[in-house]
Amino acid sequence: MKLLPIFLFGALILTPLNMKSSNDYLDGNGGGKKKVVTNKTTPKKNTPKKTSKEIAAVTKKEFKIEGVNKAILSKYFDLEEKNFEKPQLQSFESAFKGYFRLKSEGKINKEILTIIDFTQSSTEKRMWVIDMKKNEIIFQTVVSHGRNSGKEFANDFSNTPETFKSSLGFYKTAETYMGANGLSLRLDGLETGINDNARSRAIVIHGADYADENLGQRQGYLGRSLGCPALPLKNHKEIIEFIKEESCLFIYHDGSNDYLNKSKLLN
């Protein structure tokens, strides 16, 4: 993504940032058995339902930089990309708000923020791992979504067991284990009714041969999981070791007003 022009700072309308302050599981990949259309514009009657790809294009176009808090915008502009690309500003803004609140409440310990933007095509590198202390991107990679959340684009999310769908929202990374998918990382969903069934659903981060960028380019979509954010085999171990044990993970979709309006961490 190209950097936004610096002169936009002069047009900002600054708004203050709200800074309030083991059971046995089936192996990961969302196999646990325990126990969303933008409204930024008013659709005309009889308007055909937009695809997830069209929603992504519309919401990116209509996003207003003027409403972004100055501190968040500064953090975003100063974010060191290295050889990567920045996440979209709107996903970074939401992720930063939730991260700051969770950090101030002592619910996460590490100064690491992982953002997964399911607004984007699964063929894109839509997962970022950011060192918040150094303010730099450490990893950017493709990541799979649940097979019942969509094909190329994820647009249907659930917290219900055995739906094989992804869940949005904020998570705390937990312990690692060795399972059928090799080194895997357990996740604890931090938002009641949105993703708090993650552990009992066995929603974990793991490596998978279907989470392959070349496969995605060949067939037009990345291979899908049973609900887990699955990573490429070439780098999943390195990423898991970096983000494990109480760092913040945020899964975002800018067409899901149901989540964006319901999340207590964002409102």
Confidence of residue 67 (pLDDT cuts 50, 70, 90): confident
- In degrees, to the nearest 5, what angle opens at C-alpha 4 toward C-alphas 2 and 10? 170
What's the CA gap between 156 and 147, in Å, rounded?
10
What pTM was computed for the model? 0.81
Instruction: Name beta bridge partners: 58.
Output: none
Of 10-14, 47-51, 58-62, 193-197, which gets the smallest average pLDDT?
10-14
At residue 2, what are phi and psi to the nearest 5 degrees? -75, 145
pLDDT of 59 > 80? The answer is no
At residue 128, what are phi and psi to the nearest 5 degrees? -125, 140
91: Cβ contacts below 8 Å, ≥ 6 apart: 115, 117, 119, 250, 252, 254
Cα dihedral 88, 94, 98, 103, rounded to 10, equals 40
What's the CA gap between 172 and 170, in Å, rounded?
7
Strands 182-189 and 204-207: antiparallel
Of 31-45, 53-67, 97-111, which gets the smallest average pLDDT?
31-45
At residue 31, what are phi and psi to the nearest 5 degrees? -95, 10
Residue 113 CB coordination number (10 Å): 25
At residue 70, what are phi and psi to the nearest 5 degrees? -60, -40
What's the CA gap between 129 and 141, in Å, rounded?
9
Confidence of residue 112 (pLDDT cuts 50, 70, 90): very high
What's the CA gap between 200 and 60, in Å, rounded?
34
What's the CA gap between 119 and 105, in Å, rounded?
28
For residue 137, give both structure tokens.
């991107």
Higher pLDDT, 180 or 6: 180
- C-beta of residue 132 within 8 angstroms of C-beta of residue 112: yes
Residue labelled with tokens 């969770």 = 102
Report helix, strand or coil for 182.
Answer: strand
Query: Whole-number mean pLDDT of the chain?
Result: 85
